[in-house]
Structures are given as structure tokens and as C-alpha cells.
């Protein structure tokens, strides 16, 4: 739904993310109910670091589901750190903690050089609800 107060996701941001996706850097984690997108998140991969940019839900807990399912698979495949940018009640309820900027920059420098398996970002189903 379009918000009357506007959004930071301008046409330029959309174009930039399309280009980052085409280059294999930006990725989405989506929650579907049959043929309807009900929530998810997207961000930019930096080796074993994933920088989450935005989450949304059209259904209760859809974005949390996306993050938790992604987190499990990301860690199992060698991922080390997910940057959720903002520590708030929502992200802290999912286990997010704040780290000093200096530590983050050191981890960024180290983790961006750590490759994940080449198949990791291939589109696929990570979880099916048993309904």
C-alpha cells in the first residue's frame, strides 16, 4: 500500500537495487501465501555479511518469518553476520544486539572477503508451512 507521507524508496533507489540485484549483490527473502507476497526483507550481500535494508509485513510475523528462516540458512551456509541497521523492539526481539562501529568496520573488512557457496543466492524455497 502506498503511504501518503511518502517513502525513502525513490525511483533512483529502485533502479539502484535492480542494478545491484542484476550484479548479484542485492537479494530478497520473500514470504508467500500461495500467489500473494505477504512479507519479506531485502538487502545487500557482502561475502559472509548480509546488510538488511528493509522489511515489510502484510500479515502478522511475515517479516520475522523471513528473517528467522533466512538467518538459519545463512548461518548453516557460512554466513557470519546480519546487519539489521536499527536496534529497536522488533529487531531486539529477534536477537539483534548493538556492536561498536569500530568492531563493525573490522568485521565488514574481514567478512566481505569470505565467500558463501556459489549456490547460496540461487532462488529457491527455504521453508514450506505444513498446512
Let me know the angle formed at the C-alpha of 27 by 102 and 59, rounded to the nearest 5 degrees.
Answer: 100
C-beta of residue 78 within 8 angstroms of C-beta of residue 114? yes
Give the residue with greater pLDDT, 58 vs 9.
Answer: 58
Buried-state track 66-76, b at ≥16 Cβ within 10 A, e below 16: bbeebbeebee
What pLDDT score was predicted for residue 62?
Answer: 94
In this predicted structure, the answer to whether residue 59 has a pLDDT above a threshold of 90 is: yes
pLDDT (0 to 100) of residue 6: 67
Q: For residue 93, what pLDDT is reported?
A: 84
Predicted local distance difference test score (pLDDT) of residue 85? 87
Work out the mean pLDDT of the chain and round it to a whole number: 91
CB 91 within 8 A of CB 26: no
Given this model, what pLDDT does residue 16 score?
94
Q: Supply the pLDDT for residue 4.
A: 53
Instruction: Answer for the pair 63, 95: CB distance below 8 angstroms, yes or no.
Output: no
Residue 39 near residue 56, CB atoms below 8 Å: yes
Residue 20 CB-half CA count within 13 A: 17
pLDDT score, position 129: 83
Q: What is the pTM of this model?
A: 0.87
pLDDT tens digit string along 37-57? 999 999 999 999 999 998 899
Of the two residues 72 and 129, the one the predictor is more confident about is 72
Between 131 and 103, the more confident residue is 103
User: Which candidate, 85, 95, 87, places its Cα nearest to that of 64?
Assistant: 95
Strands of the 49-57 sheet, one edge to the other: 26-33, 36-46, 49-57, 81-83
pLDDT in tens, 118-131: 899 999 999 998 86
Amino acid at each position: 500500500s502506498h503511504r501518503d507521507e511518502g517513502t525513502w524508496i525513490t525511483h533512483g533507489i529502485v533502479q539502484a537495487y535492480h542494478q545491484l540485484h542484476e550484479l548479484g549483490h542485492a537479494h530478497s527473502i520473500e514470504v508467500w501465501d500461495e500467489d500473494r507476497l505477504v512479507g519479506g526483507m531485502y538487502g545487500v550481500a557482502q561475502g559472509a555479511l548480509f546488510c538488511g535494508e528493509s522489511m515489510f509485513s502484510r500479515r502478522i510475523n511475515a517479516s520475522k518469518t523471513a528473517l528467522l528462516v533466512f538467518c538459519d540458512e545463512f548461518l548453516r551456509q557460512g554466513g557470519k553476520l546480519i546487519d539489521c541497521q536499527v536496534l529497536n523492539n522488533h529487531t531486539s526481539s529477534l536477537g539483534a544486539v548493538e556492536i561498536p562501529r569500530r568492531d563493525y568496520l573490522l568485521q565488514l573488512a574481514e567478512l566481505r572477503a569470505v565467500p558463501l557457496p556459489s549456490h547460496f543466492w540461487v532462488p529457491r524455497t527455504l521453508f514450506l508451512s505444513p498446512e
